[in-house]
């Protein structure tokens, strides 16, 4: 298990060559891409990492509502709070870190945990009294209907021509 290879950037590995021709531009590119902190990352303990869990939201407007969707895998329903104050909707929650066994050996720790808060300003026509929230298969969906007076209305167009009978 100790020979696990973690590949990033499409899994490409450059072959090691014993001798490379001296190319100043290539060397400069390699130096500019070097990140000393990335090389030290395995040395840092997991407890030192700041929680970085921040879910992305899709926000869309339909003809009769506003739809917010966020991927929240591993977040329990009781750990999500949705509140509305005036025209501002706030979604907050947390994803708990799984218990760590001191006898386990980690080769990669890339999942993020912690608390998050996201706030959005709603348009004037949003009906904040009838908001629906649902967490299904790790996806949070919020449906905020539009008030009837701000929904588009179809207006019939009459012909300006006089009828032939008159």
Which domains are seen in the chain, by residue range? 57-150 (2.60.40.790)
- Backbone φ and ψ of 94, nearest 5°: -155, 150
Distance CA 144, CA 142 (A): 6
Whether the pLDDT of residue 39 is over 70: the answer is no
Of 7 and 105, the one with more pLDDT: 105
> Do residues 133 and 71 make contact, with C-beta atoms less than 8 angstroms apart?
no
| Alpha carbon 17 to chain centroid, angstroms | 41
Q: Report residue 47's pLDDT band, with 50, 70 and 90 as the boundaries.
A: very low
Q: What does 49-115 look like in DSSP terms, one character per residue?
A: SPP-----EEEEE-SSEEEEEEE-TT--GGGEEEEEETTEEEEEEEEPPPP--TT---S------EE
* Distance in angstroms (rounded) separating the CA atoms of residues 126 and 144: 6
More confident residue, 95 or 39: 95
pLDDT digits (tens, 9 = 90+) for 18-29: 555 677 777 776
In the structure encoding, which two tokens stand for residue 103, read together? 């006898």
């Amino acid at each position: 298990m100790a020979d696990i290879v973690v590949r990033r950037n499409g899994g490409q590995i450059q072959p090691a060559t014993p001798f490379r021709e001296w190319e100043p531009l290539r060397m400069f590119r390699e130096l500019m891409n070097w990140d000393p902190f990335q090389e030290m990352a395995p040395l840092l303990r997991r407890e030192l990492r700041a929680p970085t869990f921040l879910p992305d939201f899709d926000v869309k407007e339909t003809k009769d509502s506003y739809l917010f969707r966020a991927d929240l895998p591993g977040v329990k329903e009781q750990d999500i709070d949705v509140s509305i104050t005036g025209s501002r909707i706030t979604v907050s929650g947390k994803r708990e870190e799984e218990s760590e066994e001191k006898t386990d050996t980690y080769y990669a720790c890339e999942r993020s945990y912690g608390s998050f808060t996201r706030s959005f300003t709603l348009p004037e026509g949003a009906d904040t009294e009838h908001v629906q929230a649902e967490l299904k298969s790790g996806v949070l969906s919020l449906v905020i209907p539009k008030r009837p007076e701000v929904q588009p209305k179809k207006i019939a167009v009459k012909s300006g021509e006089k009828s032939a009978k008159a």
